[in-house]
Each structure stands twice: as C-alpha cells, then as structure tokens.
Chains A and B, each alone.
Chain A
Amino acid sequence: KNQVEQSPQSLIILEGKNCTLQCNYTVSPFSNLRWYKQDTGRGPVSLTIMTFSENTKSNGRYTATLDADTKQSSLHITASQLSDSASYICVVSVSEAGNNRKLIWGLGTSLAVNP
C-alpha cells in the first residue's frame, strides 16, 4: 500500500532555532518527493522537489534530503523565523501508466515558531 508518514505530528520551537522534520514512505514506483509548506487557509507552496538520484536540495533556509534506499526524507529548517509557522507536508509522486503521476500525501507536521 502506498503510504507517506511524517513525524513529528507537531513541533514548537523558538525563533532562531533549527529543526528537522521527517518523512518515511512506502511508495512504488517512486517518481519524486516534494516538500510543501501550507499556511492555514492557503494552498500548498512547493519548497523542494527531488528525484530518485538526488540526495539533497536547498531552497534558502530549507534543505531537504532523500535516502532512496531507506525511503526516508528530511526537511531541515535553519534559523527559524516566525513566518515559518505552518504545516509542512511531504508528498511522494507515484508513476502510473501513460506518463501520469499520482500524489501520495503525508498528514504534515504542524510547526509553530514562537518569539
């Protein structure tokens, strides 16, 4: 069964601190893995997209890693800011027939950055 699990479910950190969010997946056949940031009441915004051959990808203060062997990914946030408070969702894309892809969504990690 295609599944994406994230941990922790929620996290509270102080402004300026770093944090790491985890994503484990059991998906086949794997196409790519994405991390999205979703503010309350808004649509998801893409942070990083990684294919099978990529181990790490950065986007400003966000750095994602991917271990395709263990089927794990992490999202590291450096020097957190209040505006980082949001839900961070791990999404794995599954290849389907006809060059189509299906997205398998994790439930997200709710991050709160406090002053």
Chain B
Amino acid sequence: EAGVVQSPRYKIIEKKQPVAFWCNPISGHNTLYWYRQNLGQGPELLIRYENEEAVDDSQLPKDRFSAERLKGVDSTLKIQPAKLGDSAVYLCASSSTGASNYGYTFGSGTRLTVV
C-alpha cells in the first residue's frame, strides 16, 4: 500500500504568486483532510472532505485558499495569492469513515516557503 501521497515535497515561490498542492489518499478512504503545520506547532485543520463534499472548512481562509476533491479521490489545495505568512508544511491525511475506524494516515507533507 502506497500510503497517502503528496506532491510536491518542497515548493519555493515569491509572494503574490499562486501555488497548488496535490494529495492522493489511501485507496478506499472516504475522508480526506488538509492541515497546515507551522514550525514547532501542531497541525491545524484547514478542510475536511467526506467523499466529494467539504464538511468542515471553517478554518480555511477562503479569500485566498481553495480546495477541491473531484470524484471523491484526489484533492488539490490552492493558495492565490500567497503571502509570507503562508510558509508552512501542508499535510494531507485520510481515513475511513465509520465507528470502528480510528486510524488517520498522513502524507509526508509539502513544505512551502514564500519569499
């Protein structure tokens, strides 16, 4: 099993430029999460999908961030325009929906540096 795959691993962009991250969850996992993690802090949830539906996007800065999960599988997270404060690691995670499931699996993340 490949696990949660994210790309790119690293991205350096100038401020005001757009950037996009891609995530391929574990096969069969209905739930997909995007987190942002700043250095020395725990991840903070940006958005959660159940299949194609974004069920929790309350923490997503919607003026510049957008996400989509077409067909309920892969997902992309976009920032436009990027700001210096957006520099962080963006983590994608997936899990199966259901009372018996407790496992979240994280990808390796995309480290974004905005200069």
Kindly state whether residue A49 has any CB partner on chain B within 8 Å: yes
Q: Is the CB of A105 within 8 A of B104?
A: no
8 A Cβ contacts from A16-67 to B = 31-32, 34, 41-46, 49, 51
Question: Do A42 and B109 contact each other (CB < 8 Å), given the known contacts A99-B98, A103-B45?
Answer: yes
Interface of B, secondary structure class, is loop
Decide: A51 and B107 in contact? CB cutoff 8 A. no
Interface residues of B in 62-115 (CB under 8 A from A): 89, 91, 93, 97-99, 102-109, 111
| Interface contact A43-B42, CB-CB below 8 Å | no
Assembled-state Cα–Cα distance A12/B56 (Å): 39
> Which of A32, A44, A106 lies at the interface centre, i.e. has the most chain B CB atoms within 10 A of its CB?
A44
Q: Given contacts A105-B43, A107-B41, are A44 and B98 in contact (CB under 8 A)?
A: no
Q: Which residues of B contact A44 (CB under 8 A)?
A: 43, 91, 106
Count A interface residues, CB 8 Å.
22
A107-B40, A107-B42 in contact; A46/B104 too (CB < 8 A)? yes
Binary per-residue interface labels of chain B (1-37) against chain A in the complex, 1 for a CB within 8 Å, 0 otherwise: 0001010000000000000000000000000000000
Selected contact of B42 from candidates A45, A89, A100, CB within 8 Å: A89
CA distance A108 to B41 in the complex (A): 8
A51 with B102: CB separation less than 8 A = yes
Interface residue A93 (Cβ < 8 Å from any Cβ of B): yes
Known: A89-B42, A105-B43. A43 touches B109 (CB 8 A): yes
C-alpha gap A43/B99 in the complex (Å): 25
Given contacts A41-B111, A105-B42, A108-B42, contact A99 B102 (CB under 8 A): no
CB distance from B114 to the nearest CB of A (A): 17
Closest to A90 in B: B42
Given A41-B109, A107-B40, A108-B42, decide whether A93 and B102 contact each other with a Cβ distance below 8 A: yes
4 smallest CB-CB distances across A and B, nearest first, come from: A105-B42, A43-B106, A43-B109, A43-B108
User: Could you tell me which A residues sit within 8 Å of B by CB distance?
Assistant: 31-32, 34, 41-46, 49, 51, 89, 91, 93, 99-100, 102-103, 105-108
